[in-house]
């Protein structure tokens, strides 16, 4: 038995209110799940029409199943490990603009359509100077969207009430602003009338947003087991973690039309998303990067092992609560709630997150995710944060490429790997040669955007920790912090 509206007895048909560019795992496990909950719990009464943004995708499978699919949410919920599943019933249809352009273009002729949501990868919000208004369709997502908006504008004669609330979910900073900027660039390139530009500026709301949910995707390794459990065949099963967060920067009026709060969702409408982005980068991503080299050199292999380890777990916890949180400006209670949620996510027994998958490009990750906390801690406290500095020393030790005789598969830019190859080749076992390595690494401004040797006491502290890691081993060295 296959999943479709004939076999799913609770199937409902809602008016199309949301145009969604992208049919991948993340949008279905995050945005569409929220819309489904709003339909069931907040009387949103709206469905999604999905557009495939590139020539190849899952549109055919989605239509075969009448937009239905099963979502498994797995992780820590209210302190317990929980796996639960439900059928998502909010996608009305899916359209491939490369095969059915007329049907695609007619989507925006629907006066009830109100929202446009996208996730076209980080590279999706980009300008392509070769896109033309008459293309069917344009190559880039912003090009496609500009042409659609222009058709909407023409269809309703510039009616100001027929603009959209546009919420991109691509993982780039200020995504809404960048998307709008490119659309206006296309309007200029295509010589579109000034009235259309005014309509874009005054009748449409471009929201910047931050999304957060780990979505492993289609569970191909256990799909037979899942099919037996469900009692039906579903080609689009998707797995995600329990935690979710959506921060949307825009006017308060949006939540009246998009009532996530009434469905109990962790979606925040804010005037400025910057503190929330900083919180995520510093706490979640920062904790990952802080722990990865320390835990791996300690002999651990997964995130869960690290946070549950008696010694490394205590170190990670201390780094977050004692050294990262004090550098952030959101309310303490809110920061601690988020940090505890992050640690629960790290403990998720359903996800095996390998440390080495996080270790990719660790130098640049440390610069964006950890260094700002380290420097702000110095600025606010007048002293160095021991655990973050120890992590920096472990980072340098990690790039030696050896874990107790086991070769580490280092993965980074060529210049970074060459820097470490050269520096570690000169190591003669002395503390002086370690200081030379530390001085060279901290002074590599191409990565740090500054000379870290100028941070008072940092070169000495990193050298001491690195000396201890090299001579005592990390299991003894970590006791210092």
What is the 3-class SS of 206-246, one letter each residue? ECEEEEECCCCECCHHHHHHHHHHHCCECCCCEEEECCCEE
Distance CA 358, CA 360 (A): 6
Residue 121 has pLDDT above 80, yes or no: no
Q: Supply the pLDDT for residue 178.
A: 97
pLDDT computed for residue 78 by the predictor: 84
Q: Where are the alpha helices (DSSP H) in 253-370?
A: 254-257, 274-279, 286-298, 303-308, 312-318, 332-346, 355-358, 362-369
29 annotated as belonging to a binding site for a ligand:
yes
Phi, psi at 269, each rounded to 5°: -100, 120
Least confident span in 318-322, 337-341, 352-356, 379-383? 352-356
411-426: average pLDDT: 95
pLDDT of residue 171: 85
371: Cβ contacts below 8 Å, ≥ 6 apart: 448, 452
18 annotated as belonging to a binding site for a ligand: yes
What pLDDT, in 10s, does the model give residues 215-244?
A: 988 999 899 999 999 999 999 999 999 999
**Residue 429, annotated ligand binder?**
no
- Would the annotation count 26 as a binding residue? yes
28 is in an annotated binding site: yes
CATH 2.60.15.10 is the classification of domain 16-271: no
Residue 430 predicted with pLDDT over 80 = yes
Sequence ranges of the chain with CATH classification 1.10.1040.10: 274-478
Q: Which of 124-138, 238-252, 351-365 has the lowest mean pLDDT?
A: 351-365
- Say whether domain 274-478 belongs to CATH 1.10.1040.10: yes
- CA dist., res. 77 & res. 60, Å (int): 34
Condensed to tens digits (0 to 9), the pLDDT of residues 434-448 reads 999 999 999 999 999
Q: What is the pLDDT of residues 40-86, one digit of tens each?
A: 999 999 999 999 999 989 999 999 999 999 999 999 888 889 999 99
The verdict on whether residue 31 carries a ligand-binding annotation is no
Can you give the pLDDT at residue 76?
87
To which H or E segment does residue 269 belong? strand 267-270
Cβ proximity of 49 and 83 under 8 Å: no
- Report whether 401 belongs to an annotated binding site: no
Known binding residue 243? Answer is no
pLDDT at 130 over 90: yes
Q: What's the CA gap between 11 and 191, in Å, rounded?
A: 45
The per-residue pLDDT for 351 is: 84
| Burial class of residue 80 (count of CB atoms within 10 Å of its CB; 0-12, 13-18, 19+) | exposed
- Find out whether 96 is annotated in a ligand binding site: no
What is the average per-residue pLDDT within 458-469?
Answer: 98
Interval 154-212: pLDDT, tens: 999 999 999 999 999 998 899 999 999 999 999 999 999 999 999 999 999 999 999 99
Q: What does pTM read for this prediction?
A: 0.85
Whether residue 392 is annotated as binding a ligand: the answer is no
CATH 3.40.50.720 domain extents, the chain: 16-271
**From 111-115, 184-188, 345-349, the region with the lowest mean pLDDT:** 345-349
Averaged pLDDT for residues 95-119: 97
Check: CB of residue 127 under 8 Å from CB of residue 141.
Answer: no
Contact yes or no for 420/399 (Cβ under 8 A): yes
Task: Check whether 470 is labelled as a binding-site residue.
Answer: no
Question: Per the annotation, does 138 bind a ligand?
Answer: no
């Amino acid at each position: 038995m296959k999943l479709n509206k004939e076999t799913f007895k609770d199937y409902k048909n809602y008016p199309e209110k949301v145009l969604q560019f992208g049919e991948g795992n993340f949008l279905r496990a995050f945005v569409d799940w929220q819309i489904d909950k709003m339909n069931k719990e907040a009387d949103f009464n709206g469905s999604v029409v999905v557009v495939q943004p590139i020539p190849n995708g899952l549109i055919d499978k989605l239509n075969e199943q009448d937009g239905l699919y099963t979502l498994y949410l797995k992780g820590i919920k209210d302190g317990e490990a929980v796996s639960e599943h439900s059928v998502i019933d909010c996608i009305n249809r899916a359209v491939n603009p490369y095969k059915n352009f007329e049907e695609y273009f007619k989507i925006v002729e629907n006066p009830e359509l109100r929202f446009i949501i996208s996730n076209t990868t980080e590279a999706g919000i980009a300008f392509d100077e070769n896109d033309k208004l008459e293309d069917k369709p344009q190559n880039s997502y912003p090009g496609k969207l500009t042409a659609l908006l222009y058709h909407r504008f023409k269809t309703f004669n510039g009616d100001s009430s027929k603009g959209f609330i546009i919420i991109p979910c691509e993982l780039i900073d200020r995504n809404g602003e960048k998307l709008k900027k490119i659309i206006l660039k296309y309007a200029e390139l295509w010589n579109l009338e000034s009235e259309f530009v005014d309509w874009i500026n005054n009748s449409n709301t471009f929201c910047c947003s931050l999304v957060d949910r780990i979505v492993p995707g289609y569970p191909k390794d256990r799909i037979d087991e899942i099919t037996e459990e469900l009692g039906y065949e579903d080609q689009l099963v998707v797995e995600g973690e329990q935690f979710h967060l959506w921060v949307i920067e825009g006017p308060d009026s949006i939540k009246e039309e998009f009532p996530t709060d009434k469905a109990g969702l962790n979606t925040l409408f804010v005037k400025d998303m910057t503190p929330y982005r900083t919180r995520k980068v510093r706490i979640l991503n920062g904790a990952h990067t802080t722990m990865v080299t320390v835990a791996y050199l300690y002999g651990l292999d997964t995130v869960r092992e690290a946070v549950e380890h008696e010694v490394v777990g205590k170190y990670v916890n201390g780094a977050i609560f004692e050294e990262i949180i004090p550098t952030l400006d959101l309310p303490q209670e809110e920061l601690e709630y988020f940090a505890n949620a992050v640690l629960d996510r790290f403990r998720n027994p359903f996800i095996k997150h390998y440390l080495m998958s996080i270790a990719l490009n660790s130098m640049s990750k440390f610069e964006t995710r950890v260094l700002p906390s380290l420097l702000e801690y110095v600025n606010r406290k007048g002293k160095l944060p021991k655990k973050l500095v120890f992590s920096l020393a472990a980072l340098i030790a990690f790039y030696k490429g050896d874990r107790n005789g086991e070769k580490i598969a280092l993965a980074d830019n060529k210049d970074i790997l060459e820097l470490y190859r050269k520096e570690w080749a000169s190591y003669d076992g002395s503390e002086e040669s370690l200081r030379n390595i530390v001085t060279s690494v901290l002074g590599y401004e191409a990565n740090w955007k500054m000379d870290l040797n100028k941070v008072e006491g940092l070169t000495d502290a990193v050298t001491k920790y690195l000396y201890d890691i090299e001579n005592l081993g990390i299991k003894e060295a970590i006791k210092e912090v």
